[in-house]
Chains A and B, each alone.
Chain A
Amino acid sequence: MDGLVLRKLGRRFGAVDAVLDFDLHIKPGEFVSLLGPSGCGKTTTLRMIAGFIDPTSGSIELDGKILSAPSGSVPPEKRGMSMIFQSYAIWPNMTVSQNVAFGLNLRKLPSDEVKKRVGAVLETVRMSHLADRYPAELSGGQQQRVALARAVVIRPAVLLLDEPLSNLDANLREEMRFEIKRMHDEFKITSVYVTHDQGEAMVTSDRIAVMNNGRLEQIDTPYALYSRPKTRFVASFIGRTNFLSGNCGNHMIDFAGFSVPLAMIGEEVTGGGPITVSIRPQAMKLSATEVPRDKVINLQGSVQQSAFLGETWDYVFQSKDSGLQFRVAAPPADVFQVGAPAWLQIDPAQIVPIAD
Chain B
Amino acid sequence: MKHAMTYVAGLVPAFLLAAGLAGAAEMTAGEKQLYDAAKKEGSVTWYVSQTTTEFADGMCGLFKKKYAGVECNVVRASGQVIFQRLVQELQAKAVQGDLMSTNDDGQMLQLKEQGALAQFAPENLKDMVPELRALADKENYWITSGVSPLVIAYNTKLVTEAEAPKNWTDLADPKWKGQVAIGHPSFSGSVGLWTILMNDLYGWDFFTKIEKNKPQIGRSVADGHNLVASGERKVALAPLPLILSDSILKKVPIGVIYPTDGALLPPSATAIMKDAPHPNAARLFENFLLGPEIAEYFAKDYRYPLRAGVPLAEGMRPLDSYKTKSIATVDGIKKLPEVQEKFRDTFGI
In the complex they form, whether A and B have CB atoms below 8 Å apart is answered with: no
Residues of A within 8 A of B (CB): none
Residues of B within 8 A of A (CB): none
